[in-house]
Amino acid sequence: MRHPFELDPAVIHSIIHHQAGSIGKALIELIMNSVDAGATFVRLAIDKSGFECSDDGQGFASHSDVIRYFGRFGTPHVEGDAKYGRFRLGRGQIMAHAATIWRSNSWQMSVDTLSMGYSYDLEELKAPEPGCNITGKWYEVLEYTDLMICLQEVRDLVRYTPIAVSLNGAPITKDPSKENWDYQDENAYYRVKPDGPVGIYNQGVLVRNDSSHMWGCGGLVVTKKPIGLNVSRTEILRKTCPVWKAIAAQLKVMADELNGRIGDHRKTEARREQSARALLGGDTDSLRIFGEEEVITLLPGKKHVTFAEFIRRSFSHEKNYAVVERAQDVPKGEAIAREGIALLVHPSTMYRFGCYSAGELRDDLDRIVKTLTGLLDELPNQSGCVEPGSPARFAWYIREGAPNLLDYHTIRDSFKIKVGVVSAEKALTKPQYRAWSPMRLALERYAAVITGGRVYGNFQVHRGKRFKILLGESNSMRAWTDGEKYIAFNIDLARKLASEPLKTAHLLFSLLEHEVAHEGDSMDAGHDGQFFSRFHDINIEYAQDRQQFIHLWLRTYTYRMQVESRRLKGSLRFADALLNRANDQLEKRNLPAIADEISSETLSAFADNRDSDALLRSVNRSIQSRVDQGEQIEWTQVLSKSAERQKELDAELLKQREAEELFMREHEHEDDYEDEESHQEFIEAFERHNADLTHWRSEYSRQLGVEPDEITEEFIYELHMAHDDDHLKQIWMRLSGKESEVSKQAEEIPKELKELAMPGETMDMLDTLAWNAGFTDIGDYLRWRKENAA
């Protein structure tokens, strides 16, 4: 006797609860159902207690429709009758979050999994309601932050749906056919840009954001035809979906065209990451990439270089290099690299190659060299001269192999930053001070201008920040600031001002702009995209003011030289004579002068005050409380110790890997764990033999002053995201439960992200929103959100 298969209630439980991710995604399933039902609009209202979703679609037309399509999970759609749905599973997601009532035409369905289990009540309405109206009451009332996250997530994910969607009365969708696109065909709309992720919308609903390294560019794709997705609609079936294959081919063509237009003068991070992954994958173009594409980033200054150039530079450091593994170590790494102590690789290089430790990066580079050597051996006619453009022109670097890895932590712990401010009058000679004195005042007034001040009268400045311009001594910095009271310049620059006046003057003004662009203390600050944007804006917007103050300094300096009967020399004399001659010729032709004449009264009055001894002492005390300034270091010995330490780490790692392999071989024929104890034994063995976790557990316990056992594997991954010591401690307070929920919600958004965030949003909210939209970096998510704002 034949019997039909049955569906166990546990499967229904899985459909409802295991599909369910966030509330926002559950609500989006309802919107997609409305589209499939032929609706022209959806009105969605959400508050802390519940939601309401209504549309003008077909709804459930009959009792049999309700039984078959609502009461049964898994009824397939007929080909072509739905844009999004396939097996009618998506509505189950909202049932995990709320007790719901569904009204459609003549029928009402009530679902409350907490009180009714996996059943529903069906009633016939006295007054039919067209379309479909769904109301829900959350099983748990939403907190304010959860509500904000839900609202923003809905906005992000349904941006290009083909029907009008309103959220709490405000429209949140765009019609893609009315936007400007770089290209469109029968499959999709396309837009490309140099950087950022590639957002992929399946007929208007966000599926995922592809990392830029996958395409070599950023951009946006909104499909016209449905693309194949997994059941949870979070991944594209790239290998089997013919529509996606055509879209991917077109997107690759556009990415190549974009990179061709940009050219070699502006290589993007997307292109660098794509090149790194091509080297890892043994791409047929690897030999060219090795010598022409920038895949390694060095300190200081995030200098991007090719693999071949990286090897060449290593010869200046005994063919050694070290990797700065964390962003918060970059400022000190900049100082070490600027001193020429070691060749240092920026942590962005690790992320580019998909690595999480220096050892992993070293292994990847060695593996790439081995692959390149094999490709090189396959080239014909390697003897004799190498033709220009031939891949073999980089053969010498490849044969030399990758440099040797040093332990960065040994170098870092030995390096002591030396910094302090000094009295300009006491530290400079009289000629040097003669040049520096008017420069200091010019810099102070220019700093006020670029922080919001306004020039009036004889170069007086109204408002703006009043920084004191000081001189200091440092083995690592040319300039630094506390962001509030002072900006200090390395005294070596002031000493050059008398001998190389024009060159040094322009450098000093650029350094001033650099320090102001930090918008805070610069001693431990890094340089992110927001910093470079501010620096660029200051440089362009205040170019005219900068030139006026440089001219004021030049005139004041030459005036003082003439008053003291000093003869102008070198470039100073040439510049003064050239300016006078040009102004004379322009005057003869009744044309305006190159620069306005400055009266002798103004020049004589342009004098600064002596350095305040009290201020110098205060600044030095502040610096000494933060910076450990040790004794003179013998760096040859330190580098030798660093090499030995790296060998020890490699030996430990090898031993641990061998132990892991042995353990795996001993258990490779076991299909299942016999009991929980053996399963736990495997987990503990894996963690025990994981070298990176052991290393970072020790490192973080030292920095935080806690026991190593308090730092779990999950904590380590989150602590890696810290960008400085203060941020590290904030993360630890949150992870260890020592921070209250209030302080967690009130965590301050970094300055560079504040202008992108909305009122009321916190770092915790933004972290959740970024993750739900497919981003691992909050800044990337906020920039994407701004670019695609409705």
- Taking only the tens place, the pLDDT of each residue in 605-637 is 566 667 778 888 888 888 776 665 556 678 888
Q: Using the predicted structure, report yes or no on whether residue 118 has a pLDDT greater than 70.
A: no
Tell me: the pLDDT tens digits for 728-769? 776 777 666 544 343 444 456 777 777 777 776 777 777 767
Tell me: the pLDDT tens digits for 184-243? 899 999 988 877 778 888 888 888 878 777 787 888 899 988 888 776 666 788 888 888
- Of the chain, the percentage scoring pLDDT greater than 90 comes to 8
Higher pLDDT, 77 or 260: 260
Quote the crossing angle between the two packed helices 430-450 and 501-517, to the nearest 10°: 40
Q: Which residues pair with 107 in a beta bridge?
A: 104, 124
Residues 6+ apart with CB under 8 A from 429: none
pTM: 0.55
Flag the least confident range among 36-45, 60-69, 283-292. Answer: 60-69
What local confidence, expressed as pLDDT, does residue 578 receive? 56
Flag the least confident range among 18-27, 52-61, 332-341. Answer: 18-27
Higher pLDDT, 699 or 435: 435
Tell me: the pLDDT tens digits for 481-514? 988 889 999 988 988 888 888 889 999 999 999 9
The Cα–Cα gap between 471 and 491 comes to: 5
Tell me: the pLDDT tens digits for 52-105? 999 888 777 777 777 776 766 654 544 544 444 444 556 767 888 888 888 888
Give the E-state strand segments of 278-396 in sequence order: 294-299, 303-306, 320-323, 344-345
What local confidence, expressed as pLDDT, does residue 233 receive? 64
Torsion of CA 722, 723, 725, 731, to 10 degrees: -30
What local confidence, expressed as pLDDT, does residue 309 receive? 92
The Cα–Cα gap between 333 and 323 comes to: 9
What local confidence, expressed as pLDDT, does residue 509 receive? 92
Q: What is the mean pLDDT of residues 455-477?
A: 82
Q: What is the mean pLDDT of residues 159-165?
A: 83
- Of the candidates 732, 709, 707, the one whose C-alpha atom is nearest the C-alpha of residue 720 is 732
Flag the least confident range among 122-126, 400-404, 444-448. Answer: 122-126
Flag the least confident range among 538-552, 568-582, 675-689. Answer: 675-689
The Cα–Cα gap between 658 and 666 comes to: 12
Mean pLDDT, all residues of the chain: 77
Q: Where are the domains of the chain?
A: 9-173, 177-262, 419-626, 652-787
Exposure string for 157-191, b = 16+ CB within 10 A, e = fewer: bbbbbbbebebeeeebbbebeeeeeeebeebbbbb
What local confidence, expressed as pLDDT, does residue 710 receive? 76
CA atoms within 13 A on the CB side of 15: 18
What local confidence, expressed as pLDDT, does residue 744 receive? 41
Neighbours of 644 (CB within 10 A): 13
17 pLDDT band, cuts 50/70/90, is: very low
Torsion of CA 220, 223, 224, 228, to 10 degrees: 180
Q: Using the predicted structure, report yes or no on whether residue 345 has a pLDDT greater than 90.
A: yes
Tell me: the pLDDT tens digits for 508-533? 999 999 999 988 888 777 777 788 88
Q: Using the predicted structure, report yes or no on whether residue 366 has a pLDDT greater than 50.
A: yes
Tell me: the pLDDT tens digits for 386-411? 566 666 778 888 888 889 999 999 99
Q: Using the predicted structure, report yes or no on whether residue 6 has a pLDDT greater than 50.
A: no
What local confidence, expressed as pLDDT, does residue 580 receive? 67
Which CATH number, 2.60.120.260, 3.30.910.10, 3.30.565.10, 3.30.43.10, labels domain 9-173?
3.30.565.10
